Structure 1
Amino acid sequence: MTETLHGPVHRTRPTSSADPFSAELLADPHEFHEALREAGEVVHLERYDVDAMGRYDTVHAALTDWQSFESSAGVGISDFRREPPWRPPSLLLEADPPHHDAPRAVLQKILGPRALRALEPQWRADAAALVDEVLARGTEFDAVTELAEAFPLRVFPDAVGLRQEGREHLLPYGDHLFNTFGPENFLVQHGAPSLPEHAGWVNEQCARDALAPTGFGADIWAATDRGDITEAQAPLMVRSLLSAGVDTTIHALGAILAAFARTPEAWAALRSNPALARVAFDEAIRLESPVQTFFRTTTRDVEIDGVRIPEGRKILMFLGSANRDPRRWSDPGRFDLHRDPSGHVGFGMGIHQCVGQHVARLEAVALLTALAARVETIEPAGTPTRHLNNTLRAWETLPVRLTPDR
């Protein structure tokens, strides 16, 4: 990002009194996002004294300029330079070069498309088995619990190498973690009492001897034997898989299933051409943005649209708003399998772009392909309800009715 992106210098920045972490706006943020985009490239949020970005070009530019907008001060509202984090910071999300480089290089190899090819046949078989099991129980059910949660929890912990006992800790731990990126509101307070139990179990699973001899976790520890990372870094990297590799995929699958239930012509297109599953995945990520927000912190004074932002300011980037910016996307509220969704910022952008996105994409493609082979139609069977989280956009319930192939 250049010193001055647009317009005259030192323009008065617009302000907003809205609370994006209120229950009302977490449940339905789109009107607020539109107001944010229309107000300007940078808007001061009075309630939290942070600066916000909602336009695609501005968010994209900040995400790719890690030198000016750092992650190492925390990707939440807390500033790690002034207050200690509640857990050791992530070596991926909350670190910048050079500390970020070695862990990311290791995980890119472990979680890359080439490495995942070995898992694809089994995951496709697991998806087909799950669809058969669900349809055997009935054609009307909650797609969140029966599909969106069931499939990742069926395949991902095994791929990491987790033992079976205790896996019920994964979802509440991840939910609380993403809540803590926001203010200490009602959501954080709700999860805090049970956090020690969930975090304790997760941390125990990151040790070498707690993991299976094969899997993503074992591969991370093998990197210490080669000297690619240190023994102190390995458990934090395993923890990243457990904290960021489950909830986000579940909510992405929920977004995809909801989009297809609302758009029968898109489901018909997928049935005719299962190769569209990959496009459907990225289009649903663009449309719903399971990860709605992340913070950055300025490392220097910057000028954006004539507004001076001083060094040390927290910047709240609205990924969900950027992904629906009509300046970048035509008819942005529409789920469109003919659209090219590449370039969306649902996985971030730049050096901190989600390293596990290929895992999530493979899970989604496996499940969608299995459903397309067995299910003629997907339609709503009731009113869905939202699960509120300070960072994530998710469904609590998603009632659907399937029509199986005859």
Structure 2
Amino acid sequence: MTDTTYHAASTELPHFDDDPFGPELLEDPHPFHARLRDSGPVAYLERYGVFALGRYEQVRAALSDWQSFISGAGVGLANFRTETPWRPPSLLLEADPPHHDAPRAVLTSVLSSRALRGLRDQWFADPESLVDDLVKRGGELDAVSELAEVFPLRVFPDAVGLAKDGRENLLPYGSHAFNAFGPRNALVQDGEATIGAVAEWIGEQCARDRLAPGGFGEQIWRAADRGDITAEQAPLIVRSLLTAGVDTTVNGISAVLSALARNPEQYELMRRRPELIRVAFDEAVRFESPVQTFFRVAEQDVSLGGTVIPAGSKVLMFLGSANRDPRRWVQPDRFDLQRDPSGHVGFGMGIHQCAGQHIARLEAEALLTALVRRVRRIELTGTPRRKHNNTLRSWGYLPLRLTEA
């Protein structure tokens, strides 16, 4: 497609000058998402020169069509074909077949249903004492720092095989990694001041001799011994596991706690019907979309929603918008445990969907199970504060009271 055709096509599209990575939209993206969806299936963001997808149908289609919308050129704003990434690209998130296939197969095997069943008893016992201590202390807490962060930072690094010391580095590393998918704004620049030492620590933990026997990390290295992957790939796969395995779970747990506190009738329903605990987490992921956006690159000219997206174009998919698209969901702005949230794109879709989503679900199920057994009511005691991130929708502070059952 020629430049002339491209410009003609782009001017026929709805154009937006909004900054989806600016403080105002990071604080509350929903009005912009509604305007984006209502404008049509495809739009153009002038500020960044990228195509934008806000409707469920087109977001799901782009996520699923890895041949047309590739990840190997970067899933952030930066185009790896013309720009140097700040760290070696992920072999899972930022690679396409055939390079993506072996690392994905290894990680899928390591995180199998059988492996998670082996962790279930331990993971369900851990939050019982955590919740019990919080209730005995009076039940008032910051649910982010005292619950949503504490539990995943205990059980997940244990499962990977990390040593106890230094685990506090996991959250700032993940936060910077997700910030770096956006533009180099103040959020990225603030992280750059300290990311060097944090990234060095992360890299050291991915080495074979730093990982405890029997953990996910050692199993990845065993796959290298078998020849399923190379020895050079093994630490990068461990790094991908550490990057995505904590922040997204912390934000997902924070999202479900916030939603249950704001909708006490839904928490009461979950207490009466514990089988809805699993639904609650997925509904929170749909409702809140802890991962808000991801980019792809059009590998060739692609027709989508009546628009031809030229080869080489960056495409920004708004997962948070798709998950509240009224064309797909009835009353999408309502947190409702009686809906079926399956099909949401909060964990992605297709070959690049989150490999650790079942871990996140298991952690959330364990924590919510402990809560419904010990806590009669969850309620807000103050004004929550957002923590802005270019990719993640996060709570920085979530004051709650847990009333003993």
| Alignment TM-score, normalising by the size of structure 1 | 0.96
Residue identity over aligned pairs, in percent, reads 65
* Equivalent in the alignment of 2:199: 199
Residue of structure 1 equivalent to 2:5? none
Query: Superposed, which structure 2 residues align to 1:4-403 within 5 Å?
Result: 12-403=12-403
The 4+ residue runs of structure 1 with deviation greater than 6 A are none
**1:112 Cα offset (Å):** 2.2
State the 1:40 CA deviation. 1.2
Determine the C-alpha separation between the residues in 2 that align with 1:118 and 1:265.
34
3-state SS in 2 of match to 1:117: helix
What's the CA shift string for 1:242-282, capped at 9, x where partnerless? 11000000000000000000111111111112111110011
Distance 1:112 1:143 in 2: 30
* Partner AA of 1:392 in structure 2: L
Looking at structure 1, the residues matched to 332 and 373 of structure 2 have their Cα atoms a distance apart, in angstroms, of: 29
Alignment RMSD, CA only? Answer: 1.0
Instruction: Indicate if the aligned counterparts of 2:134 and 2:140 stay in contact, CA closer than 8 A.
Output: no
SS in 2 for 1:119: helix
Label 1:302 to 1:132 Cα distance change in 2 as closer, same or farther (>3 A).
same
Following TM superposition, by how much is the alpha carbon of 1:145 offset from its aligned partner in structure 2, in angstroms?
Answer: 0.9
User: Unaligned regions of 5+ residues in structure 1, if any?
Assistant: 1-8
For residue 141 of structure 1, report the CA deviation from its aligned partner.
1.0
Q: Deviations over 1:62-116 (max 9, x none)?
A: 0000000000000000000011111110011000000100111111111122210
| Distance in 1, Cα, partners of 2:134 & 2:210 | 32
CA contact (8 A) 2:102 2:229 kept: yes
Q: State the alpha-carbon separation in 1 of the partners of residues 246 and 39 from structure 2.
A: 35
Offset at residue 392 of structure 1 (A): 0.1
SS of 2:249's equivalent in the other structure is helix
**CA, structure 1 residues 104+296, in 2 after alignment: closer, same or farther (shift >3 Å)?**
same
Shift of 1:134: 1.5
CA contact (8 A) 1:11 1:306 kept: no
Alignment partners' CA distance in 1, 2:18 and 2:175: 24
Q: Would you say the 8 A contact 2:58–2:305 is kept in 1?
A: no
After TM superposition, the structure 1 stretch with the greater mean CA deviation from structure 2, 103-112 or 23-32, is 103-112
Asked if 2 retains the 8 angstrom alpha-carbon contact of 1:204 and 1:210, the reply is: yes
Give me the whole-angstrom Cα distance separating, in 2, the residues matched to 1:10 and 1:386: 34
- Report the residue type matching 1:331 in the other structure: Q
Q: After superposition, what is the alpha-carbon deviation per residue over 1:330-369, rounded to whole angstroms, capped at 9, x for unaligned?
A: 1001110110000000000000010000000000000000
Gaps of 5+ in 2: 1-8
Aligned partner letter, 1:363: E
Equivalent pairs, count: 397
Q: Distance in 1 between matches of 2:275 and 2:147?
A: 20
SS at match of 1:177: helix
Alpha-carbon shift at residue 302 of structure 1 (Å): 1.3
Distance 1:10 1:28 in 2: 27
What amino acid is aligned across from residue 240 of structure 1 in structure 2? S
Amino acid paired to 1:257: L
CA separation in 2, counterparts of 1:273 and 1:224?
Answer: 44
Cα distance in 2, alignment partners of residues 99 and 300 from structure 1: 19
SS at match of 1:308: strand
TM (norm. structure 2) is 0.97
Moved more, 323-332 or 305-314: 305-314
